[in-house]
């Protein structure tokens, strides 16, 4: 799909409210960088930067993120939460959950992998990069919608929505579904967080699994028990129950 089709289709299939909030860039370095620049210039809550091609798309821990033109979806959403910055780390959970819920409407059953990946059948379909600035948060979403070929040497097996459902899917419809769910879930990072957590845990792909991960320079191994009331990952390790705020990619042992 070329630039005009992407843009036109998005505008057409979005409610006026969303259409007004989307800034389409045919190509950019990273939508997260563009969104940050716009946020610093005062862009409104829920402004969205959408692109067809990123020349330096990035993932967590400085990993590159590739999004094949015409097949993937790469966008960044600017949020200006009313909630205090101490709660903004919950946006990562809210986004993963929102994307996973959005995929339901395409007949696809997905799960969330702490803190914010979306997986289908033990393969990654979506990566999320949340970056906070002064008074705003940028939520970058990279979703393999119609991707059929993946680069070699990926750290994890990858899949796409189209590969899972067996037919190409409208990227515009996926975008709208993700934005609508994101709005609902981001509104729950404050007093409604228990509701968000309950829904997140229902989709947790790691519960009960034995995993390994790096926390800083320490290798940890344990069984995932679930999430704490604050959204930390709770692990049962040989030294007892531990909760993790941040960790490297989590690997399931034996998979
Ligand atoms: C990860 O799983 O490592 C996170 C990947 C995040 C990729 C998205 S694509 C849109 C946005 N712009 C970027 O440069 N990164 C995010």
- 79-100: pLDDT as tens digits: 999 999 999 999 999 999 999 9
| Residue 24 near residue 7 (C-beta atoms within 8 A) | yes
> How many CA atoms lie within 13 Å of 179's alpha carbon, on the beta-carbon side?
28
Please say if the pLDDT value at position 112 is more than 80: yes
Taken in order of first residue, the domains within the chain and their CATH numbers are 3-202 (3.30.930.10), 210-252 (2.30.30.100)
Is residue 72 within 6 Å of ligand 1 at its C-beta? no
| Residue 112 near residue 226 (C-beta atoms within 8 A) | no
pLDDT at 132: 96
The tokens of 95 are what? 């986004």
pLDDT above 70 as % of the chain: 93
| Residue 197 near residue 94 (C-beta atoms within 8 A) | no
CA separation for the pair 24, 34 (Å, rounded): 11
| Residue 95 near residue 112 (C-beta atoms within 8 A) | no
pLDDT band at 12 (very low <50, low <70, confident <90, very high): low
* Residues composing the chain: 255
CA separation for the pair 172, 236 (Å, rounded): 41
Using the mean position of ligand 1's atoms as its centre, give its distance from the Cα of residue 139 in Å. Answer: 9
Give every strand in the sheet of 233-237, ordered side by side: 240-244, 233-237, 218-227, 210-215, 251-252
Which atom of ligand 1 is closest in space to residue 30's alpha carbon?
14
Give the predicted TM-score (pTM) of the model: 0.92
Model confidence pLDDT, tens digit, residues 121-157? 999 999 999 999 999 999 999 999 999 999 888 888 9
Instruction: Find which of 15-24, 184-193, 242-251 is predicted with most confidence, using mean pLDDT.
Output: 184-193
CA separation for the pair 106, 54 (Å, rounded): 25
Give, in degrees to the nearest 5, the angle at Cα 77 between 162 and 8: 60
**Which of the listed residues 140, 145, 159, 246 should we mutate to test ligand 1's pocket, taking the one with most ligand atoms within 8 A of CB?**
140
pLDDT band at 1 (very low <50, low <70, confident <90, very high): very low
pLDDT above 90 as % of the chain: 74
pLDDT at 115: 86
């Amino acid at each position: 799909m070329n630039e005009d089709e992407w843009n036109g289709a998005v505008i057409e299939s979005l409610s006026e409210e969303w259409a007004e909030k989307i800034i389409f860039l045919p190509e950019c370095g990273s939508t997260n960088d563009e969104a940050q620049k716009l946020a610093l210039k005062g862009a409104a809550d829920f402004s969205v930067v959408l692109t067809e091609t990123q020349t330096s798309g990035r993932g967590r821990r400085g990993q590159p993120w590739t999004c094949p033109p015409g097949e993937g979806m790469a966008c960044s959403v600017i949020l200006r939460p009313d909630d205090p910055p101490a709660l903004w780390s919950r946006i990562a959970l809210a986004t993963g959950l929102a994307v996973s819920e959005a995929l339901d409407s395409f007949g696809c059953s997905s799960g969330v992998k702490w803190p914010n990946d979306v997986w289908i059948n033990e393969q990654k379909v979506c990566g999320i990069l949340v970056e906070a600035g002064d008074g705003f948060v940028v939520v970058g979403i990279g979703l393999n919608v119609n991707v059929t070929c993946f680069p070699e040497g990926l750290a994890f097996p990858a899949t796409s929505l189209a590969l899972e459902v067996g037919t190409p899917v409208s990227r515009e419809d996926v975008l709208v579904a993700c934005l609508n769910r994101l709005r609902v879930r981001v509104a729950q990072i404050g007093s409604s967080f228990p509701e968000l957590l309950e829904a997140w845990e229902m989709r947790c792909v790691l519960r009960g699994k034995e995993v390994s991960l790096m926390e800083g320079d320490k290798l940890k191994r344990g069984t995932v028990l679930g999430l704490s009331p604050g959204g930390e990952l709770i692990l049962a390790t040989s030294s007892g129950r531990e909760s993790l705020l941040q960790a490297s990619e989590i690997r399931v042992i034996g998979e």
